[in-house]
Amino acid sequence: FQETIALDLGAQPTLEVGGYNYVKYPKMKRYTVEGDEGWQLEGSSITAKGAVEADAINLLLDTGSSVSMLPASRMDAIMNRAGLKVQRSKDEPIVYSMPCDTKLGVQLVLPDGTQVDVDDSDILMRSNDASMPGCLSLLVGTTNPFVPAVAGTPLLQSLYTVLSRNPSGDWIGLAPL
């Protein structure tokens, strides 16, 4: 079985099946997928400007997930920075609400150290819950150690993403948009 799917979830989304656009994205980096645990991007990180540095994690790339989920400690490091007015839910998944004009400055750090800025408008969604006014973060937290860290659509909107499965080895291709 051999298949390649390429996604650009930016301003004018595209889906390519059977190949990828190496002319438009010449700086795309390839990362080997190890094991059979889905599209895991090993040795990456999600952080924010001014957040305490964290160890690299394995991120499961999930093009069908409307949220991105990180360990609660990582989310708290992002959301508890000076100057942010963030409210945190007590239940799982841990949801964060804040004023809609909040500047989060979230970055996805790829395994080679490339930093990709994630647009706040891709992460924040207006809340219709009176107990959590303002906007809700589509980055949520979990204390469940069995739940993988997930990079869903909110983060993938900042990347050209290629998922390639073939007999010579599976790989993920990423390029900032």
Q: Residue 165 has what pLDDT?
A: 87
Q: Residue 134 has what pLDDT?
A: 94
CB 11 within 8 A of CB 158: no
Q: Is the pTM here over 0.95, yes or no?
A: no
Q: Residue 81 has what pLDDT?
A: 94
CB 162 within 8 A of CB 172: yes
* Sequence-separated (6 or more) residues with CB below 8 Å from residue 76: 88, 141
For 69-103, what is each residue's pLDDT tens digit?
Answer: 999 999 999 999 999 999 999 888 999 999 999 99
Identify any residues that bridge with 30 across adjacent strands, giving them in sequence order: 173
CB 30 within 8 A of CB 171: yes
Q: Residue 84 has what pLDDT?
A: 94
Low-confidence ranges of the chain (pLDDT < 50): 1
- 177: buried, middle or exposed (CB in 10 Å: 19+, 13-18, 0-12)? middle
Q: Residue 2 has what pLDDT?
A: 66
Q: Residue 35 has what pLDDT?
A: 80
Kindly report the number of other CB atoms within 10 A of residue 87's CB atom: 15
Q: Where are the alpha helices (DSSP H) in the chain?
A: 72-79, 120-123, 153-156
